Amino acid sequence: MHWKLTTLIENHPDQEDRLLCEHGLSVLIEGEGIRVLMDTGQSGAFYENAVNLGANLSDLDYVIFSHAHYDHTGGLLRLVREIGKPRQVLVGNGFFKICYHEKSDGRMKFIGNSFDRRMLQELGIPVKEVQEDMMDLGNGLCIHRNFLRNADFETWNPTFFYQEEDQSCGPFGRCMDSLTYKPDRFTDEMAISIDTDRGLFVVAGCSHPGIINILTTIEQRTGKHICGLIGGTHLMEADEKRVRKTIECFKKMNLDLVGVSHCTGEKNIEILRKELGDRFLYNCTGNIIEIPY
């Protein structure tokens, strides 16, 4: 089986410095008769990169959002303007919550989507909220969510919050309950696995539940070996102990390739590069991975 993964946008520039980059992520997955776009970056700049890379986005089977943060969903409306309505948008259950990040001064900063459920309905965009832990898309692709929290060193970040989806109940708009800030445990976050001859290859968005929690949950539920990974690891706020424990787990899992990007952190990228050696991949904007590799 042959797969091609193209990172359309990411925090870091490409080696030739000819593509746009931004804090965000978008990955095009192609192979075995199926084409999937995971996330759309922050601004829509991923589309220019797709054009420059010769990546056709006009015939996607699915647009899949890893979670409901602006740097992963912000380009959807640009995509719709350029290619029309996607065939299907897949999101995790609870995706339409309203997301915030608490700053050091206690201020709540909005970090959610630039659209809500009603806007997508008015645009006629078909959206499915994935309820199950695993959803088979066929052709070797599978969505995973509702990850187990088995790694005790992957602590929950208490600075992320959400408000309930705005259902505009009553004549005065939002219900009072929807205005309450609630701790975000990212139960809506999703990752994708690709079944290859070498094992499962995982594409992660931001890994708020913990990258090791995500990988071990997928292994446990599928009973299959994970051979590789690309995407965000959310190690940028991790202390040294967590980074070291994560590297130990990568080695123990015997991953062939660890292609980290986006929310990993510059210092941690260099640590991973040193510790993982040939297994490490600097997955910057414009990077293309061919499987088998």
**pTM of this prediction?**
0.95
User: Mean pLDDT, the chain, as a whole number?
Assistant: 94
What pLDDT does residue 270 have?
94
**Cα(260)–Cα(52) distance, integer angstroms:** 23
| Confidence tier at 174 by pLDDT (50, 70, 90) | low
Question: Mean pLDDT across the stretch 143-147?
Answer: 97
Between the CA of residue 139 and those of 34, 39, 61, 258, what are the distances in Å?
7, 20, 12, 23
Number of domains in the chain: 1
pLDDT over 90 at 156, yes or no: no
- What 3-state class would DSSP assign to 187? coil
What pLDDT does residue 172 have?
47
Question: Mean pLDDT across the stretch 89-96?
Answer: 97
pLDDT > 70 fraction of the chain, expressed in percent and rounded = 95
Question: Mean pLDDT across the stretch 233-253?
Answer: 95
| Confidence tier at 292 by pLDDT (50, 70, 90) | confident
What pLDDT does residue 277 have?
96
pLDDT over 80 at 167, yes or no: no
How many CB atoms sit inside 10 A of residue 59's CB?
8
Name the packing angle between helices 266-276 and 240-252 (round to 10°). 40
Contacts for 132-140 with beta carbons within 8 Å, 24 or more apart?
133/221, 134/221, 134/222, 135/90, 137/34, 137/36, 137/61, 137/62, 138/34, 139/31, 139/32, 139/33, 139/34, 140/1, 140/31, 140/32, 140/194, 140/195, 140/196
Q: Which of 109-118, 147-156, 175-184 has the lowest mean pLDDT?
A: 175-184
What pLDDT does residue 237 have?
87
How many CB atoms sit inside 10 A of residue 254's CB?
11
- Helix, strand, coil percent content, the chain, rounded in steps of 5: 25, 30, 45
What pLDDT does residue 157 have?
86
pLDDT over 50 at 72, yes or no: yes
- The position carrying tokens 């292609």 is 259
Number of continuous H segments (helices) and E segments (strands) in the chain:
7, 18
Question: Mean pLDDT across the stretch 223-244?
Answer: 95
Q: What is the pLDDT of residues 176-205, one digit of tens each?
A: 556 799 999 999 999 999 999 999 999 999
**Nearest alpha carbon to residue 265 among 202, 201, 206, 215:** 206
Output the CA torsion 77→81→87→92 (10° steps).
0
| Confidence tier at 92 by pLDDT (50, 70, 90) | very high
- The position carrying tokens 């420059």 is 52
pLDDT over 50 at 143, yes or no: yes
How many CB atoms sit inside 10 A of residue 131's CB?
11
What pLDDT does residue 177 have?
58
Question: Mean pLDDT across the stretch 97-123?
Answer: 95
pLDDT over 90 at 251, yes or no: yes
Check whether the bond before 209 is cis (ω within 30° of 0).
no
Q: Are 24 and 284 in contact (CB under 8 A)?
A: no
**Cα(234)–Cα(230) distance, integer angstroms:** 12
For the chain, what is the largest distance between any 2 Cα atoms, rounded to a whole number of angstroms?
61
**Nearest alpha carbon to residue 69 among 40, 107, 35, 29:** 40
Q: Which domain holds residue 210?
A: 3-291
**Nearest alpha carbon to residue 268 among 250, 286, 252:** 250
**Cα(183)–Cα(186) distance, integer angstroms:** 9
Question: Mean pLDDT across the stretch 194-221?
Answer: 97
Burial 165-184 (b: 16+ CB within 10 A, else e): bbeeeeeeebeeebeeeeeb
CATH code for the domain in which residue 197 is found: 3.60.15.10
Question: Mean pLDDT across the stretch 50-66?
Answer: 96
What pLDDT does residue 192 have?
98
